[in-house]
Amino acid sequence: MTERLIYLPLGGAGEIGMNAYVYGYGRAGKERLIVVDLGVTFPDMDSSPGVDLIMADLAWLEENADRIEAIFITHAHEDHIGALAHVWNKLRKPVFARAFTGRIGQLKLEEAGIPAETIQIVEPRPHAIDAGPFAVQFVPVSHSIPESSALVIDTPAGRIVHTGDFKLDGNPIVGEAFDPVLWHEIAQEGEGVKVLVSDSTNVFSPAPGRSEATLAEPLTKLIADQTGMIVATTFASNVARLKTLAEAGVAAGRSVCLLGRAMKRMVGTAQETGVLKGMPGTIPPEEAVKLPRGDVMLIVTGSQGERRAASAQLSRGKYLGLEMKEGDSFLFSSKTIPGNERGVIRIMNAFSEMGVDVIDDHDGLYHVSGHANRPDLEAVHDLLRPKMLIPMHGEHRHLREHAKIAQAKGIASEVAINGSMIDLSGHVPQVVEYIEAGRTYLDGSVKIGAMDGVVRGRIRMALNGLVLVTVILDEQDQPLGDPWVETMGLPKLGRGGANLVDQIEDEMTDFLNRASVKVLSKDDKMDEALRRIARQVSMEEIGKKPEVIVVTSRLTDE
């Protein structure tokens, strides 16, 4: 049996977020493995109410943990690093990252009680990390967070380039520019690039991407034109944007105050690791409260409508003594991620009711994406000239479109969704196996499977309401008093104006009075009958079939 080179996405392929990718080399079923990124995605009230975080189901990876050589983290966005502290104890392998990413990861591990030295800080190319049959180099790319990296993965079967999240930006303000000369070298070395595994997020954006530097002038002008207090929100991790906003505030003669734990952590870590220099000084909120409104600029968290972030807190009233008033302005220097529209619009409307002027990104005037657009992706295809292309980091439609672009240029391509194991050994990528690739929910402090029924039950209760029935039976299996019914999430009155609980209790009392001992002595028969009565009465009276819990208590002779 010969060795093979495989690629297996467990998250991030067929969706945007929750990135988790596996590469392997060796005999089939015994390949040595490396893991690239361990990220999260965020829940919504429609599909995952009450859930805190969503991670890829790593059961296959846990079963094969003895084959893993190392874990590599490309950058510090939550959808690439957010699951690391939650799953590391199951994998227990060395983690490699660059300084800024590594420090963010170390802080997360420390909070989870895992030693910070678990993450080893590495230098970028030409430094390489040997991990079994792999030699891995971190290659700087521009993105919307400092020190983002692609990975050049050299294997006995050829060179893989895993782009991570990237854009072509020659002047990203903070962090490294995309260096085409460096990438030309990568394409020319050895036998060239066998496989390009590439970001596909903006494949449908037809215009070339714009540099972060293009925002400085319009943001400076906008902020200079405001008279009341100006508040701006953006992604906490976009350190370059934070610097640009702060510089624009200072240029307008304002004192700048940062609000939000995540934002302060990102700025502090960027300064500590040396990637952020020249950030204007900021003042604490207790100082900002004392200044005239026209002399203050707040930069706050919550660009995606998060309910506990500073933006949402301000939209509901005072936050740390600060409040928005008529004549103030609120700027969203960000793009709303699909699925977050409702929360963002809620905040916009709340500010509007206060008389605050809300300004969005104005078709890119105050925000640019951190991902490569279609022409930029094609430019990278031309630069690296890979023999194969595997699209990643995108919904299925993004992956399919990216594969079509590659195929039109004569590059062999395959759409690999989560769980598709791809053999990259030959001249064309081939699906050779499907792995169960579900989701794991962090629900409070407990991890549960998406198919465990916990969240599904929660959704059913939210949609249909709940009826709780309590019945007490004596030593002879006879009803002791009437059944007791409680409801949650259901109207009190039915169609005819009568009390719903009373009607359910009356029907159940009639049933218990005429039921045989054969039924009364069996919990399962009691459960089935009382459940049916609760649903039938509810359906007749309110048009709903609620979830029903029956508690049968039996007295004993002892």
Amino acid letter, 252? A
Task: Note the pLDDT of residue 453.
Answer: 83
Give me the residues paired with residue 154 across strands: 135, 159
**Rounded (5°) CA angle 545-548-550:** 150
Give me the residues paired with residue 412 across strands: 388
Task: Note the pLDDT of residue 558.
Answer: 61
What is d(CA 132, CA 111) in angstroms, rounded to the nearest whole number?
30
Query: Domains in the chain, ordered, with CATH?
Result: 3-207+369-449 (3.60.15.10), 212-359 (3.40.50.10710), 465-554 (3.10.20.580)
What is d(CA 14, CA 23) in angstroms, rounded to the nearest whole number?
18
Task: Note the pLDDT of residue 48.
Answer: 82
What is d(CA 392, CA 402) in angstroms, rounded to the nearest whole number?
9
**Rounded (5°) CA angle 260-19-409:** 125
The phi, psi pair for 367, rounded to 5°, reads -160, 140
* pLDDT < 50 positions in the chain: none
Task: Note the pLDDT of residue 1.
Answer: 53
Give me the residues paired with residue 35 across strands: 22, 71
What is d(CA 360, CA 66) in angstroms, rounded to the nearest whole number?
49
Give me the residues paired with residue 299 across strands: 232, 258
Q: Among 272, 325, 275, 276, which residue's Cα sits nearest to residue 298?
A: 325
The phi, psi pair for 41, rounded to 5°, reads -125, 170
**Terminal-residue alpha carbon distance, the chain:** 69
Task: Note the pLDDT of residue 363.
Answer: 75
E-strand spans in 404-546? 412-413, 420-423, 430-434, 439-443, 446-449, 466-473, 484-488
What is the phi-psi region of residue 555: left when phi exceeds 0, alpha when psi lies from -120 to 50, beta otherwise?
A: beta
